[in-house]
Amino acid sequence: MSGSGNEGVRAETEAVVAGVVGAATAGTVALLLFAGSLTPLWALGRSVGVVAGIAVFVTSAGAAGTAYVRSRRRPGQQWRRRLRPWLDAVDVGTVSLVHAAITAILTLAVFVLLQRSFAGLEVDAFIGTLAVVASAGFSAYLTSSSAATVTTRKMSTLLVTYMAVATLGSIAAVEDPLWWEYHFSQLGTADDFSAFLFNSTLIVAGVFVTTFSLYLTRDLTTLARRGVLERPWAPRFYGIVFVVLGLMLAGVGLFPLDVSIALHNGCAAGMAAAFAAMVLGSPAILRGLPRRFFVFCYAVFALLIGGFLLYAPIAYWNLTAFELVAFSLIFGWITVFIRFVNALTGDETDAPGPPDADAAPHPASRGARP
């Protein structure tokens, strides 16, 4: 059997073990909580859905974190061993949190739908525990399998999936039905679970952007070393701007409007400026990439300007609609950009690049051990 085949079988085996451990641990706790009583499928407080959501979050975070750490031994991932300890901790932590948040939110959504479909249904300890066991075990297995094979492309997909799932969850949980009449940031101003979910989503997503800039910088460095990119400093520039973009995105969630209007708007403006620098500067900075990519960049920026015009002078839609369009365009561009660069490296499995490519400097890892 080939080395890659061995790695695949090993990762799959570890994912099964993670699922079994997660199911057993969550089931033990659930059985103690549900013993001797009937429990609704969903309700704020004590319910099967709440217990399952918490269990899924904890077990998924543990399974994803363990698998991601162990994946550093995979071919092409050795460069992660040279990251500074604090950067490695942030990298592992955000990958774990994103996996855990996605599975937990989806689990809660399933139980809410089940409760609405079977109004008034309450289950005994056996059924409730079985539901928690299935949720935690399946989620731990999936997240372990996913984190064990993280690539640049998968990182971008995880980001978009996380933003979409968490934002929709926040919208579904908001208590003010007319929040959309104000602006998108209104979701983060209420003192409820929706606001917590919205703000924490932005913070985690911002940190996630800064960490997967490691992958992007590595791919761009590979292209620069191969002579595809004409500017040898382009990888460092985009790595730095991506870190700024991530920090500004995190700042938007860290400083909601009801905490500081100046800091909130300042972070939002900084995020817009970082995005504009990457998109409009791409033809000059990323010279050497195919022309069709630059056409795509200008098309995205034109759509962004068009969306703003439909809001401000034309008043076709309100600020919330424009912000939704802007967020979609920004994260859509980030996804295409990362996948486009990764495709040019011919790096479907994150295999090592040219000699010493793994040790290429990165704005967030200049102190990496040689």
Residue 75 has pLDDT above 90, yes or no: no
Mean pLDDT value across residues 144-152: 87
Percentage of the chain exceeding pLDDT 90: 46
Residue 359 has pLDDT above 70, yes or no: no
What is residue 72's predicted lDDT score, i.e. its pLDDT? 83
Mean pLDDT value across residues 332-349: 80
> In this predicted structure, which of 67-81, 141-155, 311-325 has the lowest mean pLDDT?
67-81
Percentage of the chain exceeding pLDDT 70: 92
Secondary structure of residue 122 in the 3-state scheme: strand
Residue found by looking up tokens 């051990």 in the block:
369
What is residue 3's predicted lDDT score, i.e. its pLDDT? 52
Record the tokens describing residue 90, joined without a space: 């942030």
Cβ atoms of residues 323 and 183 within 8 Å: yes
Cα 100 from Cα 18, distance rounded (Å): 14
135 or 212, greater pLDDT: 135
Secondary structure of residue 43 in the 3-state scheme: coil
pTM for the full predicted model? 0.81
Residue 315 has pLDDT above 50, yes or no: yes
Residue found by looking up tokens 């993280």 in the block:
150
State the chain's mean pLDDT as an integer: 85
What is residue 352's predicted lDDT score, i.e. its pLDDT? 40
> In this predicted structure, which of 104-113, 326-335, 350-359 has the lowest mean pLDDT?
350-359
Partners of 39 in the β-ladder = 123
Burial (CB count <10 Å: 0-12, 13-18, 19+), residue 356: exposed
What is residue 333's predicted lDDT score, i.e. its pLDDT? 92
Record the tokens describing residue 351, joined without a space: 């295999």
pLDDT digits (tens, 9 = 90+) for 212-228: 788 888 889 999 999 99
pLDDT band at 81 (very low <50, low <70, confident <90, very high): confident
Residue 123 has pLDDT above 90, yes or no: yes
Cα pseudo-dihedral 336, 339, 340, 345, rounded to 10:
170
pLDDT band at 136 (very low <50, low <70, confident <90, very high): very high
Long-range contacts formed by 224-230: CB under 8 A, 24+ apart = 225/353, 225/354, 225/357, 225/360, 226/354, 227/288, 228/288, 228/289, 228/344, 229/286, 229/287, 229/288, 229/289, 230/287, 230/288
What is residue 63's predicted lDDT score, i.e. its pLDDT? 95
Phi/psi at 188 (5° precision): -95, 5
361 or 113, greater pLDDT: 113
> In this predicted structure, which of 41-55, 189-203, 260-274, 300-314 has the lowest mean pLDDT?
189-203
What is residue 8's predicted lDDT score, i.e. its pLDDT? 72
Residue 238 has pLDDT above 90, yes or no: yes
Secondary structure of residue 266 in the 3-state scheme: helix
pLDDT band at 4 (very low <50, low <70, confident <90, very high): low
186 or 3, greater pLDDT: 186
